Amino acid sequence: MVFAFLIALGGLQEPIPDPVALFDDRWTPEARAYLAAGPSVVSISLHAKVMVREGFGRRREQTRLLGQGTGVVIDSAGLVITNQHVAVADPSFSSTPVLTTVTFAEEFGGRKYAARVLSVDQESDLALLKIQGRGPFRASTLGSSENLIKGEKVIAIGAPFGNSHSVTSGILSGLHRKVKVRTQSGRTHLFGDLLQTDAAINPGNSGGPLLNAAGELIGINVATREGADGLGFAIPVDTIKKVLEGSLFDLSHRFWVGMRIGDEFGAPIVTSAHPRGPAHLAGLRTGDLIAEVAGKKIKTPADYASVLLPRSAEAEVSILYVRDGEKGKVTVVLRPAHERNSVGLLGFEVNSVRIPYRRGFWRESLPVLRIEKIYADSPADTLGLKAGDVVIAVRLESDNPEKGWQPVSSFSSLVSMIRGPGFELEEENFWVLRDEESMQGKMQFDDPELGGYDL
């Protein structure tokens, strides 16, 4: 068992330095939310090269800024959610190549990448972009808009008038608002279920996140009421999830197949198969050529995705493949999407709980994850984790080992840190409690797509 026994629960110390002690009154809810969500926020710019007249019949090429906005990384492979009116240029530039770029905040690396539009949903005014760069990228933690409270604090991040990664805050003023907005084409669009906030939202904030005090995404900022102060609106995150599943997103958030399909030599090939994934368990292996899915001939990875897209978890799909010149056929049972991380990435199921926590003279409770089930032959099983163990922190790369430890309060944030950039893979990276003992160990992963998602 790969563990170093450290200290007893009675003498448990904070897993990371206390920000309150470091920053005192400056450690505000806004600062906490920005630190949590800021690495996932990008400013978006659209440029095009146009010909301009200079007089005397002369013309020259000029790069023109067509629009600006904000977006949120929702997948470590570089998928960005934003508004359709941010991602798509004015129709008058439909015949002109448009360059879309995304830029991270300076304090989180300041990297700038080209991006392309994967899909749009005009009805919801949402679009999905793909960063054209090597990840992984830090994905935002998606909250829920189901249990929001009027009056709770909310934080907006955006690029108002080009001032990227600006932070404003306010309260959640209303729910289920019906709002008419004017689109770029001059038409009026009616939104039927928006969040209302008095957090300052200006041109350039569109597509950016509306966060709760925990830094979780609860909405995408979409509009303000002209001529009114303190009247901004956001698309609820639960609406965004439905649109992603229904029209924008790829297969990976609908179910888990456990394999990646690529195009090699003009044919759809299995480029990776997760050892515990449905495809591998059915008999598919890396290098297999996919010939048919559900009785339909497959010539490209896009064909493969289009056949599977209408299906849901628990569906059985027949796949005809070719291996070493011989045909074979298997039936793959599509698994629920969450198993990609519980079964595939980590090898355990968890519940969120709180444990007693002492800081000076004060007693508080610390949100943690309690392991309920361990999957055999998984990273968790190999490390020696057991049901009942409590995960309190994981470690990111840092020159200071103590500062590298980051507290874990939800399963989604745990996955985001592990799949995101800078997760510590070479040293001890898991901190758990077992009964009254505190232990650290190194989890070694076997997910072939660590940092991104396989299907």
Q: How far apart are CA 231 and CA 29, in angstroms?
A: 21
Q: How far apart are CA 337 and CA 251, in angstroms?
A: 9
Q: Whose CA is closest to 425, among 413, 417, 433, 436?
A: 417
Hey, which residues are catalytic here? 85, 125, 206
In a shared domain, residues 437 and 346 = yes
Lowest mean pLDDT among 217-221, 251-255, 336-340, 440-444: 251-255
Q: Does a structural domain hold residue 22?
A: no
209 within 8 A of 180, measured Cβ to Cβ = no
Residue ending a domain, choose from 245, 279, 299: 245
Look at residue 1 and tell me whether its pLDDT is greater than 50.
Answer: no
- pLDDT at position 77 is 74
- For 158, the token pair is 């955006």
Q: Between 244 and 86, where is the model more confident?
A: 86
- For 127, the token pair is 């679009």
Residue ending a domain, choose from 333, 350, 382: 333
Whole-angstrom CA distances from 181 to 82, 93, 184, 191 are 17, 22, 10, 8
Look at residue 12 and tell me whether its pLDDT is greater than 50.
Answer: no
Task: Tell me if residue 285 falls in helix, strand or coil.
Answer: coil
Average pLDDT over residues 370-382: 96
- Residue 342 is classified by DSSP as I
**What confidence tens digit (pLDDT) does each residue in 338-364 have?**
999 999 999 999 999 888 776 666 777
In a shared domain, residues 119 and 182 = no
Whole-angstrom CA distances from 226 to 126, 182, 195, 347 are 21, 10, 17, 51
Q: Whose CA is closest to 119, among 88, 74, 98?
A: 88
Q: Whose CA is closest to 85, among 148, 127, 144, 135?
A: 127
**What confidence tens digit (pLDDT) does each residue in 208-226 have?**
999 999 999 999 998 876 6
> How sure is the predictor about 179, in pLDDT bands with cuts at 50, 70 and 90?
confident
Q: Does a structural domain hold residue 110?
A: yes
Average pLDDT over residues 132-151: 90
Q: How far apart are CA 455 and CA 261, in angstroms?
A: 8
**What confidence tens digit (pLDDT) does each residue in 309-335 have?**
668 899 999 999 999 999 999 999 999
Q: Does a structural domain hold residue 167?
A: yes
Q: How far apart are CA 212 and CA 155, in angstroms?
A: 6
Q: Does a structural domain hold residue 450?
A: no
Q: Does a structural domain hold residue 137?
A: no
- Residue 361 is classified by DSSP as T
Lowest mean pLDDT among 5-19, 101-115, 270-284: 5-19
In a shared domain, residues 229 and 267 = no
Residue type, 34: Y
Q: How far apart are CA 70 and CA 160, in angstroms?
A: 9
- For 324, the token pair is 């070493």
- The torsion angles phi and psi of 66, rounded to 5 degrees, stand at -95, -30
Residue ending a domain, choose from 245, 264, 287: 245
In a shared domain, residues 269 and 213 = no
In a shared domain, residues 315 and 362 = no
Look at residue 39 and tell me whether its pLDDT is greater than 50.
Answer: yes
CATH code of residue 40: 2.40.10.10
Q: Where are the alpha helices (DSSP H) in 289-410?
A: 301-308, 339, 379-383, 401-404
Domain of residue 195: give its range.
Answer: 153-245
**What mean pLDDT is reported for the chain?**
85
In a shared domain, residues 347 and 437 = yes
Look at residue 97 and tell me whether its pLDDT is greater than 80.
Answer: yes
> How sure is the predictor about 164, in pLDDT bands with cuts at 50, 70 and 90?
confident
CATH code of residue 359: 2.30.42.10
Residue type, 19: P
317 within 8 A of 295, measured Cβ to Cβ = no
Alpha carbon 412 to chain centroid, angstroms: 9
Task: Tell me if residue 343 falls in helix, strand or coil.
Answer: helix
- pLDDT at position 130 is 87
- Reduced DSSP (H G I as helix, E B as strand, rest coil) percent helix, strand, coil of the chain, to 5: 20, 45, 35
70 within 8 A of 42, measured Cβ to Cβ = yes
- For 100, the token pair is 């879309």
Q: How far apart are CA 455 and CA 337, in angstroms?
A: 9
Instruction: Bin 9: left if φ > 0, else alpha if -120 < ψ < 50, else beta.
Output: alpha
Average pLDDT over residues 251-274: 86
In a shared domain, residues 235 and 262 = no
Q: Does a structural domain hold residue 386?
A: yes
Look at residue 10 and tell me whether its pLDDT is greater than 50.
Answer: no
Instruction: Label residue 363 exposed, middle or buried (CB < 10 Å: 0-12, 13-18, 19+).
Output: exposed
- For 60, the token pair is 């020259």
Q: How far apart are CA 120 and CA 118, in angstroms?
A: 7
- For 378, the token pair is 């998984």
Q: Does a structural domain hold residue 298?
A: yes
> How sure is the predictor about 365, in pLDDT bands with cuts at 50, 70 and 90?
confident
CB atoms within 10 A of CB 150: 10
Average pLDDT over residues 380-391: 96
Q: Between 208 and 243, where is the model more confident?
A: 208
Instruction: Label residue 303 exposed, middle or buried (CB < 10 Å: 0-12, 13-18, 19+).
Output: middle
Q: How far apart are the first and last CA of the chain?
A: 32
Average pLDDT over residues 362-369: 80
Q: Does a structural domain hold residue 125?
A: yes
- pLDDT at position 2 is 37
> How sure is the predictor about 418, in pLDDT bands with cuts at 50, 70 and 90?
very high
In a shared domain, residues 259 and 322 = yes
Q: Between 303 and 432, where is the model more confident?
A: 432
Max CA-CA distance within the chain? 84
Look at residue 440 and tell me whether its pLDDT is greater than 60.
Answer: yes
> How sure is the predictor about 93, in pLDDT bands with cuts at 50, 70 and 90?
low
Q: Which residue in this structure is represented by tokens 């519980």?
A: 342
Average pLDDT over residues 57-69: 80
In a shared domain, residues 345 and 420 = yes
Q: How many domains does the chain have?
A: 4
- pLDDT at position 57 is 65
- pLDDT at position 436 is 82
Look at residue 370 and tell me whether its pLDDT is greater than 90.
Answer: yes
275: preceding bond cis by omega (within 30 degrees): no
Beta bridge partners of 61: 51
